[in-house]
Amino acid sequence: MIASVPTIETERLRLRALSEADFGPLAAFYEDDRSRFVGGPKRRDETWRMLATEIGHWSLRGYGRFGVEERDTGAFVGVIGPWNPHGWPEPELGWDLMNGFEGRGYATEAARAARDYAYGTLGWTTAISLVADGNDGSARVAERLGAVRERHMDHPMFGPMSVYRHPAPEAAE
């Protein structure tokens, strides 16, 4: 299934297709220890494969995570959106925020728009967010989105995580 990636705009952000141009900021993020909560640190070749996986998810599933940029500057903010890679427990709303963009409400703003897309366009009726133990910032984003910690799990790739359940579409509005 080949899917056209829509562009979604919020007050401050643009959610759009990921591209090769995003590799530099992604590689810098994944080389940093801050990426430890989302599978890092990674070598540049591993980040390249991760970017290809993110882009390929759109072809395989018809949806995926978005590249997020500031509308005013075009600065690459992160990778945020719905996805469900092979082996995942269920469809997830995920967010990876690049260094220097924390604390501005960007993850919450973009994730809310991506969740609206998943519920309204994709027809999802629920979603989870996986938050690595110790990633307090991501836990706060999930809670600001109205998600509730449902259970704990040991993810085979990422280790101990909390599973946050997002409110149903009608409750999320």
Task: Please give the pLDDT value at position 173.
Answer: 60
User: pLDDT-derived band of residue 68, with 50, 70 and 90 as boundaries?
Assistant: very high
Residue 1 domain-assigned (yes or no) = no
Indicate the average pLDDT of the chain.
92
pTM for the model = 0.93
How confident is the model at residue 43, as a pLDDT? Answer: 93
Which domain does 27 fall in, by range? Answer: 8-172
C-alpha span between 30 and 47 (Å, rounded): 7
Write the CATH number for 89.
Answer: 3.40.630.30
Domain count, the chain: 1
Q: Do 54 and 30 form a contact (C-beta atoms < 8 A)?
A: no
92-119 pLDDT per residue, tens: 999 999 999 999 999 999 999 999 999 9
At residue 32, the pLDDT reads 82
2 within some domain: no
